[in-house]
Chains A and B, each alone.
Chain A
Amino acid sequence: MIVMQDIYKTYANGVTALNGINVNIDQGEFVYVVGPSGAGKSTFIKLIFQEVKPTKGSIMVNDKDLTTLKSKHIPFLRRDIGVVYQDFKLLPKFTVYENIAFALEVLEESPRNIRRRVMEVLDQVGLKNKARFIPDELSGGEQQRVSIARAIVNHPKLLIADEPTGNLDPETSWEIMRVLESINATGTTILMATHSKEIVNTIKKRVIAIEDGLIVRDEHRGEYGYEI
């Protein structure tokens, strides 16, 4: 599903964020990406949906070779990948319903399918009664659930989350994790960068640890491995 070979990334300001990454992630896996701040976790994740382009190396996602992908095809790549951010990235003037529907509208789905599917995911994340609210009227946990709903509304094979619980209190974080696990149970691959030792050590999954732009550890049913 995701194959990276010898990936290097140096930003325009000269900072080298990734220093030769090799990784292979299969369909249906649940993977944590851990490591200290500034290690390169976000950069690693952004490569997958081309928010960042590698300086060197090759990436294949969903059998698409991203190194040769033309920029006008990037939107189509992104439609197959759901992304969840620490800061939610919801459209502030759009209602919960409109935020989620947007991801289907870009696919030119019929209004009837859009309505049905949006209500379905709203139910899945437990926000059916908040469809007409705007993001500012929701708690952090609710906003994150909206952004998860938006990420999965078009049945992506891959869901990427960059510290999705980073801004949430522990209890809300567990709620979000339950939602992510249920999504993973339907066969969706999940790749999640996190700082939460409790989560990684409790819900045991594959752990990839990045330090100074290199993968220093990659183990199935792994531990967080850092003292915070």
Chain B
Amino acid sequence: MKFRTFKRHFREGSKNIWRNSWMTIASIGAVTTTLLLVGAFLALMLNLNHVADNLEEDVQIKVLVDLTADDKEIEAVGEQIKDIAEVDTVDFSTKEEELRSLVDSMGEEGGAWELYEQDNPLNNAYIVKTTDPQDTMKIAGEIEKIDKVEKVNYGQDVVQNLFQFNEYARNIGLVLIFALVFTAIFLISNTIKITIMARSKEIGIMKLVGATNWFIRWPFFVEGLLLGVLGSILPIIILLTGYYYLDNSTTALDQFSFMTLLDFHPFAWQLAGLILLIGAAIGVWGSVMSVRKFLKV
């Protein structure tokens, strides 16, 4: 294909947008509705994932070292923990530091605990983070077996429930996205079916004048692409604005440190790009479907 023919197809595709104004409005409407739903849902999903990640990030194992352990044995415990492959970081916290953080966390009432500074009943501890939070339970079990380890704490019940919840959330999200995409496909293929009927005569005439199948197809692709792109404009504007306000507003949820939205920049732009891509893909896909069966003869 010569370059000027490519330009011609692009020009024809754009003209078709005007020539078939009713079809254009219907198609753009379908694409817009779909993308708005998909976009809102993607934003929700990805943020839920983000919150889940935050929560998982916060999961840590506190290893209490036996009170009878001497300095050497304490060090040996640390070394053995570090030797476990899935362990990411190991921080030592002396019993004095443990007491301090306990006192701090108590606020006003913490004063009473200061009495214990002379005779500290707390254990020396290691704070362990795993490379993959999902490994927490397994690694906690291994650490428990190490000599001179008195106890291992990682919020057992909470962690298990959290992981369970996150997995549900992710799976339900995937299912919903698939459902949405199928609805979109149904919506758009119906719009296209109507378009085809309206255009079948036109395609027949083009073939009688000597157009090859590809010559007929190209402007349809361009038209589909443009419809997809045009259909993504409104959803992008709405989602960007909506997300901007949400990101900049304060809510009751802000008091939980893990309840943060993904940053507007770059997340919102990535989402916009993704919507544009999905729109273009839906448009091209639709036009491929629409011309396919009319080009057989």
Contact, CB under 8 Å: B202 / A106: no
Contact, CB under 8 Å: A105 / B5: yes
B82 at interface by CB-CB < 8 Å: no
Partner of A93, one of B1, B5, B202: B202
Partner of A106, one of B16, B205, B211: B211
Contact, CB under 8 Å: B4 / A106: no
B293 at interface by CB-CB < 8 Å: no
Partner of B4, one of A51, A76, A110: A110
Partner of B209, one of A76, A106, A110, A111: A106
Count how many chain B residues have C-beta atoms less than 8 Å from C-beta atoms of the other chain. Answer: 18
* 0/1 interface trace, chain B 193-213, chain A, CB 8 Å (1 if under): 000000000100111111110
Report Cα–Cα, A83/B1, bound state, in Å: 25
Contact, CB under 8 Å: A91 / B4: no
Within B1-34, the residues touching A (CB, 8 Å) are 1-2, 4-5, 8, 16, 19-20
* B205, B206, B211, B215: residue with the most chain A Cβ atoms closer than 10 Å: B205
Contact, CB under 8 Å: A91 / B5: no
Kindly provide the distance from the CB of B284 to the nearest chain A CB, expressed in whole angstroms.
22
Contact, CB under 8 Å: B207 / A91: no
For A51, the chain B residues whose CB sits under 8 A away are 208
Say yes or no: A76-B210 contact (C-beta < 8 A), given A89-B205, A90-B205, A110-B4.
yes
Contact, CB under 8 Å: A93 / B19: yes
Q: How large is the interface on A (under 10, 10 to 19, 20 to 34, 35 or more residues)?
A: 20 to 34
Contact, CB under 8 Å: A78 / B209: yes
Say yes or no: A103-B205 contact (C-beta < 8 A), given A108-B2, A108-B4.
no
For A94, the chain B residues whose CB sits under 8 A away are 19
Say yes or no: A83-B211 contact (C-beta < 8 A), given A108-B2, A110-B4.
no
For A107, the chain B residues whose CB sits under 8 A away are 210
The residue in chain B whose Cβ has the minimal distance to the Cβ of A73 is B212
Kindly provide the distance from the CB of B233 to the nearest chain A CB, expressed in whole angstroms.
24
Contact, CB under 8 Å: B206 / A91: yes
* B16, B210, B211: residue with the most chain A Cβ atoms closer than 10 Å: B210
A150 at interface by CB-CB < 8 Å: yes
Report Cα–Cα, A84/B43, bound state, in Å: 57
A157 at interface by CB-CB < 8 Å: no
For A83, the chain B residues whose CB sits under 8 A away are 208
Contact, CB under 8 Å: A92 / B5: no
Kindly provide the distance from the CB of B101 to the nearest chain A CB, expressed in whole angstroms.
76
Partner of B212, one of A49, A75, A103, A150: A75
For B4, the chain A residues whose CB sits under 8 A away are 108, 110-111
* 0/1 interface trace, chain A 89-115, chain B, CB 8 Å (1 if under): 111111000000011011110110000
Contact, CB under 8 Å: B8 / A93: no
Report Cα–Cα, A92/B201, bound state, in Å: 10
Contact, CB under 8 Å: B202 / A79: no
Report Cα–Cα, A92/B210, bound state, in Å: 18
Report Cα–Cα, A103/B207, bound state, in Å: 10
* B4, B202, B209, B211: residue with the most chain A Cβ atoms closer than 10 Å: B209
Kindly provide the distance from the CB of B220 to the nearest chain A CB, expressed in whole angstroms.
14
The residue in chain A whose Cβ has the minimal distance to the Cβ of B3 is A108
Kindly provide the distance from the CB of B163 to the nearest chain A CB, expressed in whole angstroms.
58
Q: A49-B208, A103-B210 are in contact. List 6 more A-B contacts (CB 8 A).
A: A75-B211, A75-B212, A93-B19, A106-B209, A106-B212, A108-B4
Query: Lowest 9 CB-CB distances: which A-B pairs, in order?
Result: A78-B210, A79-B210, A93-B19, A75-B212, A106-B211, A108-B5, A108-B2, A75-B210, A89-B205
Which residues of B come within 8 Å of A, CB atoms? 1-2, 4-5, 8, 16, 19-20, 202, 205-212, 215
User: Can you list 13 A-B contacts with CB-CB less than 8 angstroms, sorted by A residue number?
Assistant: A49-B208, A72-B212, A75-B212, A76-B210, A78-B209, A83-B208, A90-B205, A93-B16, A105-B8, A105-B215, A106-B209, A106-B210, A150-B209
